[in-house]
Amino acid sequence: MVVRTMKKILFIGLFIGLLTVVGCSIGKNTTLRMTLQPGIDTIEINGDYVDPGAKATFGLLNVEVTVASSDLGISALGTYSIVYEASYGDQTKTISRYVTVIDDTAPQLSLNPGIDTILIGETWIDGGVTVIDNSLSSIVPTVIGQVNEQIVGDYEITYRATDASGNQNQITRIVHVIDDNE
Q: 11-38: per-residue pLDDT in tens?
A: 665 666 544 555 555 556 789 999 999 9
**Mean pLDDT for the chain?**
90
In this prediction the pTM is 0.69
Q: 142-144 and 153-162: which strand pairing?
A: antiparallel
Query: pLDDT band at 122, cuts 50/70/90?
Result: very high
Superfamily of domain 28-102: Immunoglobulins (2.60.40.10)
Sorted by where each begins, the domain ranges of the chain are 28-102, 108-178
Q: 117-119 and 168-178: which strand pairing?
A: parallel
Using the predicted structure, report yes or no on whether residue 104 has a pLDDT greater than 80: yes
Please say whether the beta carbons of 151 and 177 come within 8 A: yes
108-178 has which CATH code? 2.60.40.10
Helix H or strand E segment including 4: helix 2-25
Please say whether the beta carbons of 25 and 60 come within 8 A: yes
More confident residue, 73 or 24: 73
